[in-house]
Amino acid sequence: NAGVTQTPKFQVLKTGQSMTLQCAQDMNHNSMYWYRQDPGMGLRLIYYSASEGTTDKGEVPNGYNVSRLNKREFSLRLESAAPSQTSVYFCASSGQGIREKLFFGSGTQLSVL
């Protein structure tokens, strides 16, 4: 059971370049999330999707866009990367009710030079 799969694991970009982080889950979860992790700041929510076809902004959405392609996949796009977007990015999905808990991918370490 793969759980949550994120690609790529590492990426180096130059300022102004664009890229898409891919995420897929195989647990039939409705809710999916993108977080970024920075030292001393914990995880901050970028965007989330409560169900297929819906997306909502989180705490730090500026500079990012998302697509909930189908129930399994939730991608994060950086249109014009900036050094402030250097971070570790985590995708997560969650069940509901008594099964509510986040399952995280292994992360993408992104450096923007």
Partner 1 sequence: AQSVAQPEDQVNVAEGNPLTVKCTYSVSGNPYLFWYVQYPNRGLQFLLKYITGDNLVKGSYGFEAEFNKSQTSFHLKKPSALVSDSALYFCAVRVSDTGRRALTFGSGTRLQVQP
Residues interacting with partner 1, by CB under 8 A?
A: 4, 31, 33, 35, 40-45, 48, 50, 56, 58-59, 90, 92, 94, 96, 98, 100-107
Burial class (CB in 10 A: 0-12, 13-18, 19+), 34: buried
Q: Which is nearer to partner 1, 17 or 102 (CB)?
A: 102
Nearer to partner 1, 35 or 64 (CB): 35
Outline where DSSP puts E strands in the chain.
Answer: 4-7, 10-13, 19-25, 31-38, 42-49, 56-57, 64-68, 74-78, 87-94, 102-104, 108-112
Nearer to partner 1 among residue 26 and residue 80 (C-beta): 26
Minimum separation from the CB atom of position 46 to partner 1 (A): 10
Smallest distance from the beta carbon of 45 to partner 1, in angstroms? 5
